[in-house]
Structure 1
Amino acid sequence: MSGPLRLVVFDVDGTLVNSQSHILVSMRQTFDDLALPVPEDQAILQGIGLSLPELMARLVPDADANVHEALAIRYKELSYARHATVGRDAESPFYPGMRDVLEQLRKDDFTLLATATGKSRRGLNRMIAHHGLHGYFQSTQVADDHPSKPHPSMLLSALSETGVDAENAIMIGDTSFDMAMGKAAGMATIAVSWGYHPISHLAENAIVESAEDLMTALNLWMERLA
């Protein structure tokens, strides 16, 4: 498909890969290790996508910043150790059809791919290595380098790195943070229904319910730009 150079930006956890089990197990252990009450699963899941310190601040709002930072550090340690021992396919597999979406998009000479994720750089690099995605993404934006979502900093950097105009870019994600971030950057947005925020949180956005529907929506979006 011809037309202007396009950029498709993906959130990772809850959009490309299903890391729910990994996140919940690691988070429960984090709070146990610091002798703090473990939050409800739903509270954890609805904060995924935020930077870790901001997520911890939401989960334990009465604690001070030192506690939030200690929780974030411990979670990173546990997450890294768990990935090393459990393996990628046990707890962070691709959602059905999402690998095929990436494969189709990367074949298009006019389409570039990027990530905008609450993961750390180490966490994203590990996911890319585990799933054999080296070279798929022309820009990889992570929480280490930016303010937390929904601040548009990650997307603005992806646009700058790829040289794509915001009106020719789209953000794909599963949370209201992703959608707000995309809109703040002046980009189109598509929400996926299979992630960590309920559909009621995404109601003002285009929502797809399968990878096939996502690919159809992206093809229509690209045709409009051509």
Structure 2
Amino acid sequence: MTLRLVIFDVDGTLVDSQGDIIASMRHAFAEIGAPAPKDPAVRGIIGLSLDVAMARLAPDLDASTHDALVEAYKRSYMSLRAQAGAAQSSPLFPGTRAMLDSLAARDDLLLGVATGKSRRGLDKLIEGHGLHGLFVTHQVADHHPSKPHPAMLHAALSETGIDARDAVMIGDTTYDMDMARAAGISTIGVSWGYHPAADLAPDHLLSSWDDLPACLSRKWPNLQSEVPA
């Protein structure tokens, strides 16, 4: 039996966190007295590490101001999450939990995460949604260069002992797709995320999680059995 690795992005792919992200970004810019970026611009940087995101949103500001924005954003985001709880602050997209449970129950598939979130942020999300034990590898922004650098995926492959040809990256942004291509990993895009689906150019595009079983079976025709819906 050949083990395969399915790696998921988090924000915009598994959970809808844009409400708190946009609110926290507005708060951060207000705290330094600068005009907040428009909502589409904020959605456009979701998935990047915060230092890279701030530099992209405010290229005319200096590095120390970017650092201040990062810290203000973190304070606001943690406050909003504490008030509502992680599950309400970043709800799972429809069908996500059932899909994860179904894949995790298989003995020929491993699941992983590669996210622009911090270790703390991912831990809070996993705790809030009761996702403990579903993912065998957690790659976060604390330990790697920002997407689309492939370091996260190289680490996931190394930790699991899986070859790139036996892995797939599922995400909603061009950063996810570019990261996967740089690592030699096949790409699956989702249409419900924060970058326009037309910009992703993935190997496969999902319109719902119901499409994933057939997609994986097409990629790996010799899976142990049909991936359950």
TM-score tier by shorter-chain length is: over 0.9
Structure 1 counterpart of 2:42: 44
Question: Distance between the aligned counterparts of 1:224 and 1:181, measured in 2?
Answer: 26
Structure 2 counterpart of 1:86: 84
- Post-superposition CA distance 1:11-70 (Å, at most 9, x none): 000000011111111111111111111000000001100100100011001111111121
Question: Distance between the aligned counterparts of 1:204 and 1:219, measured in 2?
Answer: 16
Structure 2 alignment gaps of length 5 or more: 225-229
- Superposition pairs for residues 1-226 of structure 1, below 5 Å? 3-224=1-222
Counterpart code for 2:102: Q
Moved more, 211-220 or 189-198: 211-220
Question: Distance between the aligned counterparts of 1:129 and 1:109, measured in 2?
Answer: 24
Instruction: Classify the secondary structure of the residue corresponding to 1:14.
Output: coil
The change in CA–CA distance for 1:215 and 1:72 in structure 2 (over 3 A counts) is farther
Question: Distance between the aligned counterparts of 1:219 and 1:127, measured in 2?
Answer: 29
1:200 CA drift (Å):
2.1
* Structure number with higher relative contact order (C-alpha < 8 Å, ≥ 6 residues apart): 1
Counterpart code for 2:216: L
1:219 CA drift (Å):
3.2
Question: Distance between the aligned counterparts of 2:9 and 2:202, measured in 1?
Answer: 18
Contact map agreement 2:217 2:223 (CA 8 A) in 1? no
The change in CA–CA distance for 1:181 and 1:96 in structure 2 (over 3 A counts) is same
Give the TM-score, by structure 2 length: 0.94
Task: Give percent identity, aligned residues only.
Answer: 53
1:207 CA drift (Å):
1.0
Moved more, 79-88 or 151-160: 79-88
Question: Distance between the aligned counterparts of 2:212 and 2:34, measured in 1?
Answer: 40
Question: Distance between the aligned counterparts of 2:31 and 2:213, measured in 1?
Answer: 42
Question: Distance between the aligned counterparts of 1:31 and 1:79, measured in 2?
Answer: 13
Structure 1 alignment gaps of length 5 or more: none
Contact map agreement 2:187 2:202 (CA 8 A) in 1? no
Question: Distance between the aligned counterparts of 1:169 and 1:70, measured in 2?
Answer: 38
Q: Which runs of 4+ in 1 moved over 4 A?
A: none
